[in-house]
A and B are shown apart, each in its own frame.
Chain A
Amino acid sequence: MDQLLQQIINGISLGSIYALIALGYTMVYGIIKLINFAHCDVYMIGAYIGFVCITSLKLGLIPALLIAMAICTILGVLIERIAYRPLRNATRIAVLITAIGVSLLLENGMILIASPQVRVYPQIDGLLAKSFDIGRITINMKQVLILATTIILMILLQFIVKRTRIGKAMRAVSLDTEAAQLMGINVDTTISFTFAIGSALAGAAGVLVGVYYNSINPLMGLLPGLKAFVAAVFGGIGIIPGAMLGGYFIGMVETMVAGYGGSMFRDAVVFAILIFILIVKPTGLLGKNVREKV
């Protein structure tokens, strides 16, 4: 029982990271029907920016988090503008291949700049180094930080999407791009904004992972990126609450498998879930079957 609770707590931390990354995949897919494979590298770059902020610039965690989010926002917008916008009317496979190209560029670019070696996030002193026990379960402050940051960001995201003008534009463009245009919505601006938000969330996830697992490297985005993608598909790609749900589900499953002696299979199980969901309900858990009324 204690072990189960402990694993649940670990699962929530991992799930938060997956959920943050999955949101970027799902929002971009919702709006331009592209699996943005470069997204996981924006997450990696977020981790590096956080690393530089904390080690070289001697900044605190919160400023590092905010700076990483800001730079990733710009990066995401630039990627869209330079790589994807010129292909707006191209076939989907052309854009998809471009996304893989951007991903390779970012990974190898980072290897060139920062060398392929693993970097170690400095131990953060003070409150974050502490942990506390409830019964025989240990919760450390880093886990609290991850969960709190994720919840704040998700509330913020919900607010933007549901309540603001640009959020309404995002929903309109993702539902029907052409009709949105006829309402006077600038589709290009809306797409840029979607990349901005998704990338900011990925940047935050990058810093949180650095703090939680301590080590980062230029290829760190690959596996979490794929798993977050599975999470997005599991919840129903294009659906924001689906990505949150999927992220936590995948994080939890992976932790449970690892925690109960299946460490070797943790990745395999996640991808088995992908295969299973694609066979049983390809639209994802919250996905609807699309019907058209004549």
Chain B
Amino acid sequence: MLEVRDLNVYFGVIHALKGISLSVNEGEIVTLIGANGAGKTTSLRAISGLIKARSGDILLNGQSIINMSAKDRVKNGIVHVPEGRHVFTEMTVLENLELGAYLRRDKAGIAQDIKQVYKHFPILHERRKQAAGTLSGGEQQMLAIGRALMSKPKILFLDEPSMGLAPLLVQEIFSIIKTINEAGTTILLVEQNANMALQIANRAYVLENGSIRVSGSGQELLKSDAIKKAYLGG
């Protein structure tokens, strides 16, 4: 479904992504793990069009999207939940969800999907008239995911969805990610919490200093000694 070929990204003179290649098949959960600064977030940002790659190619269902604007990538089903959630704090929960459907014109479909989001996250329904900035961190994360679902993603990028959340909430967020995936959305997940990520992922890539070091199935990597030592704390 998504294929990244030899992607290079520079920030000034810093070579942030050094020829990354990866692929995500339809229906999979694929995770990118690695230390801080390894290039996980940069990879997502380059694929969703927030930053420009210097060279390489990105294919979506066989078609190159490397020259597409971020807007057209959203239109084509690449939807990105950024690190730190980035909800519109001064807007209500409902307005946030409506903005997720910014590119859609089907009013009935939008209303239907808002209901669906409330079903995934009942707390959002309760708080629908509240400003998003007044929500707790976990609720904001749910809103960010719900808002992304409103864009009708074919492939959903989640950047650090568990960051700063209490362990119980982390469990909940991960179980929601599984549910969304089972409902047919392909997921590319970036996580610091490598243990959790590997448990739900079909496949994983390990990034180090802007390059992919290892790749394999989630279970394989969970058992690998090198991975255990470097990223799983023993």
Contacts and interface: CB of A to CB of B under 8 A. Distances in A.
Contact of A181 (B71, B91, B98, B140): B71
A186 B49 CA distance: 12
Nearest to B104: A184
B87 interface: yes
Interface residues of A, number: 19
B81 to A, nearest CB: 8
B69 A182 contact: no
Contacts of B89: 175-176
Given A172-B88, A294-B137, A294-B164, A179 B82 contact: yes
Nearest to B157: A182
A171 interface: yes
Contacts of B98: 168
B120 to A, nearest CB: 19
Contact of B70 (A168, A169, A175, A181): A181
Interface majority SS (helix, strand, loop, mixed), chain A: helix
Contact of B75 (A168, A184, A291): A184
Interface in B108-161: 133, 135-137, 140, 147-148, 151
Interface in A140-189: 165, 168-169, 171-172, 175-176, 178-186
B82 A183 contact: no
Interface in B140-192: 140, 147-148, 151, 164
Nearest to A171: B91
Contact of B86 (A169, A179, A291): A179
A58 interface: no
B232 interface: no
A136 interface: no
Given A176-B86, A181-B50, 10 more contacts: A165-B102, A168-B98, A169-B102, A178-B82, A179-B87, A181-B71, A182-B48, A182-B148, A183-B74, A183-B99
10 contacts: A168-B102, A175-B89, A176-B86, A178-B86, A180-B99, A182-B80, A184-B75, A185-B99, A185-B102, A293-B140
Report the 4 A-B pairs with minimum CB-CB distance, sorted nearest first: A184-B74, A179-B86, A184-B103, A183-B102
